[in-house]
Amino acid sequence: MNSTASVPGRTLPRLWFHGLVCEDPAQSAATLARLGVSRLVHGRSASDVFATRAAGLEPWVCLGALSVPREDTHLHCRSLDGEPRYWFGSGCPSNPEVRKLLLERVREAAGWGAAGILLDGIRFASPYEGPDTLLTCTCRWCHAAAADHGISLGRVATALREARDRLAGATDAEAGVLAAGLTAPFDTLAYLSGSELLLQWLRFRSAIIADAIAEVRAVIDAAAPGTSLGAYVFTPSLAPLVGQDYRLLEANLDVVAPMVYRLGDGPACLAPEIRGLAGLARSIGPELREATALRLLGLSAGGRPGIQEGPELAVDAVAIEVRRARARLRCRAELVPVLWLDDPSVASAVAASLQGAPEGISFFPTGDQREQRLAQVAAYFEQCRLSP
């Protein structure tokens, strides 16, 4: 299972893994290979890349795209009120110094001989970071970049302030009407299209991130021709909010890897991101505002919210998001959804992912028993391989 495997009526995707299953890198690589993993995202040096390849795995390197020191506030995004906002260790994607640091990291990593480089955090702030951070950035570099794209960021910022204040004072009755009226993504699109300035804000974010990735692509092609480029991205329901337009990104990416985390409590995890989005309407009861946010994202079914009791989404959300990702791509880039290995229903999440016909499935671990959990996945794939 070290490559895409064909079975009657279906094609099984490659398996990717982010990190190690134990402290010993050599032993970890051997275990991963035995369990069917073919691509390993690990390594911060040329020697790490060499060791991964020596173990028979294809080495990929992950880079924090917009990483800047917390103390360098001149690199941070700015809120609608002009305050610096630091999120996911990142600076403003429009800031030339932040972009320069990104390209320096890419140029260094391109010399390590990895098969590919994956960008992490190549985005603007998400709902998880809270309303004031989500509604960034208004720094002078963003104003200049927006003007280059024919957008007046001053007018957009005014519209965002008005929308923020209107949502903050919304009533339960208003939210109930909204939740009842938005039952499909097309409804949401029609709703948003009434605010051209809001759409300009979303388009601006997407243009800046696409520009940054195009610069990275040019550096890789010059420094290490043949090296692949991928990115960890948000799921299709959330990606437009953080500046990740799949069709724009695909022009310069070989791998698009949506992080489809139905569980967890951090950036990109579906439930906390939905709660963060719902937090824009903080005067509304939490259950109603989460239901409304789910409808805005098209993650409700049969009139019932997809959020279960507790901080999780149903496994069906994984299938919905991977199918959406497949529909948004033109098949130039490989689709490789990333699943949380510690999900108690990880095999079911894998089965749900297969509904989107991905070229690969990647696993991100955070807890213990990594080998045992990955063995569950390997057993599921063996069952698929043997099924008639």
* Structural domains of the chain in order of their starting residue, each with its CATH number: 5-67+100-125+172-194+226-386 (3.20.20.70)
Distance in angstroms (rounded) separating the CA atoms of residues 291 and 303: 10
Among 77, 104, 103, 78, residue whose Cα is nearest residue 90: 77
In the structure, how many helices (H) and strands (E) does the chain have? 16, 13
Whether the bond between 137 and the residue before it is cis, its omega within 30 degrees of 0, is yes
The mean per-residue pLDDT over the stretch 316-342 comes to 94
pLDDT single digits (tens) 90-107:
999 999 999 999 999 999
**Residue (of 168, 200, 174, 245) closest to 182 by Cα position:** 174
Identify whether the C-beta of residue 352 lies closer than 8 Å to the C-beta of residue 315. Answer: yes
DSSP annotation string for 295-361: HHTT--BTTB-SB-SSS-B-THHHHHHHHHHHHH--SSSEE--EEETT-TTHHHHHHHHGGG--SEE
Task: Classify residue 226 as exposed, middle or buried by CB count within 10 Å of its CB (0-12, 13-18, 19+).
Answer: exposed
Tell me the residue length of the chain: 388
Helix axes of 96-110 and 196-223: crossing angle, nearest 10 degrees: 30
pLDDT digits (tens, 9 = 90+) for 211-251: 999 999 999 999 999 999 999 999 999 999 999 999 999 99
pLDDT in tens, 121-165: 999 999 999 999 999 999 999 999 999 999 999 999 999 998 888
More confident call, 147 vs 26 = 147
Q: Mean pLDDT, to the nearest integer, of 341-368?
A: 94
Cα separation of 118 and 171, whole Å? 43
Residue 188 has pLDDT above 70, yes or no: no
- Least-confidence region, from 73-77, 144-148, 185-189, 269-273: 185-189
pLDDT value, residue 327: 95
Determine if the pTM surpasses 0.85.
yes
Taking the C-alpha atoms of residue 372 and residue 20, their distance in angstroms, rounded to an integer, is 13
Encoded tokens for 300: 């409700």
**Secondary structure of residue 18 in the 3-state scheme:** strand
By three-state DSSP, how is residue 43 classified?
Answer: coil
Least confident interval from 226-235, 272-281, 299-308: 299-308
Tokens of 317: 């959300």
CA 229 to chain centre: 15
Quick one: pLDDT at residue 268?
Answer: 96
Q: Could you give the CA distance from residue 332 to residue 129 in angstroms, rounded to a whole number? A: 32
The helix/strand/coil state of 291 is: helix
Query: Which neighbouring-strand residues pair with 6?
Result: 11
pLDDT at 186: 62
| E-assigned strand segments in 222-265 | 228-233, 255-258
Residue 189 has what pLDDT? 65
Closest CA to 258 of 237, 240, 235, 229: 235
